[in-house]
Amino acid sequence: MNKIIFTGTAPGFPARDRACSSFVLIVDKKIYQFDAGEGFSNSVQTYKIPYNNIENIFISHLHPDHITGIFLELQLMLLAKRTKPLDIFVPEEGVAGLEKACQMFYLIKEKFPFQFTFRPVRPNPVFRDGEFALYAYSNLHLSGNTEIIEKINAPNKMQSYSYILVIDGRRTLYSGDIKDENDLSGLTDDTHTVIIEGMHGDFAKIAEICAAGGVQRLVLTHLPIELYNRPHKLETVALKHGIKKLVIATDGLRLVL
């Protein structure tokens, strides 16, 4: 049975009882990981996910709540004597820096019993294996940094991706973090399940766009505490705008695809 297990559903403001953003996708017994927020290494043990078998990791963007868990995850795999090679797909702007950071944290490649490689996300498809194909679409989540980046002449490219997972012909959208609902343009059409972050954009408009695209199930993750604790309010808005099935993602939630 193909499924997603949420291993971290907290927003950028770290939460007391949720890990930062990540989930695993299990397709035909193969495990793929999306994002690597802090707490991932704890979650895989809590939810009994065989982390040494993770095939690939796909990162949406380089905000700490989506990537900094990668270092402890590599340490966990080192100590757990993983042997399977691991490709970590990240926005291109992060490849060199992450390689350097691993060295700095003494995650020295020569010490590892397995090969890990940071690779740039290159659309499209980013990845394909049998009945699973992954597509990446740039979004404007990081565009609010334009002014400061230009001012200090920083190298940041503000690369941020939403992912479409096609499994046995069925589409699931993982929005990653977005700027607003406009980033969903064209992505929700014929999409069965949408996993969207609940921090940015107008939720009523998001629900409307999803309903117009024929979305069967809308899953909210990355919710700030005030919305996470008041799901009924979100359910009412979703229903009013044509979404019958709204799911609030919690750590450990399993979603059958």
CB of 135 to Zn ion, least distance (A): 20
x-marked contacts with Zn ion along 125-164 as a string, rule CB under 5 A: ----------------------------------------
Give the shortest CB-233-to-Zn ion separation in angstroms: 21
Q: Which of 35, 38, 65, 183 binds Zn ion (CB under 5 A)?
A: 65
Nearest residue (CB) to Zn ion, 68 versus 191: 68
Which of 159/193 has CB closer to Zn ion?
A: 159
* Binding footprint of Zn ion, residue count (CB under 5 A): 4
Q: How far is the CB of 144 from Zn ion (least distance, A)?
A: 10
Closest separation in Å from C-beta 140 to Zn ion: 11
Question: Should residue 208 be labelled a site residue for Zn ion when binding is judged by CB under 5 A?
Answer: no
124 cis-preceded (ω within 30 degrees of 0): yes
Residue numbers 8-47 binding Zn ion by CB under 5 A: 12
Smallest gap, in angstroms, from Cβ of residue 66 to Zn ion?
A: 6
Distance CA 60, CA 134 (A): 12
The tokens of 174 are what?
């993982």
Decide whether 63 or 82 has the Cβ nearer to Zn ion. 63
Rounded to the nearest whole angstrom, what is the least distance from the CB of residue 131 to Zn ion in the complex? 29
Supply φ then ψ for residue 138, to 5 degrees.
-65, 140
For residue 173, give the nearest of 237, 219, 124, 209 by alpha carbon.
219
Task: Show contacts with Zn ion in window 160-179 (CB under 5 A).
Answer: 177
Footprint on this chain of Zn ion (rule: CB under 5 A): 12, 63, 65, 177
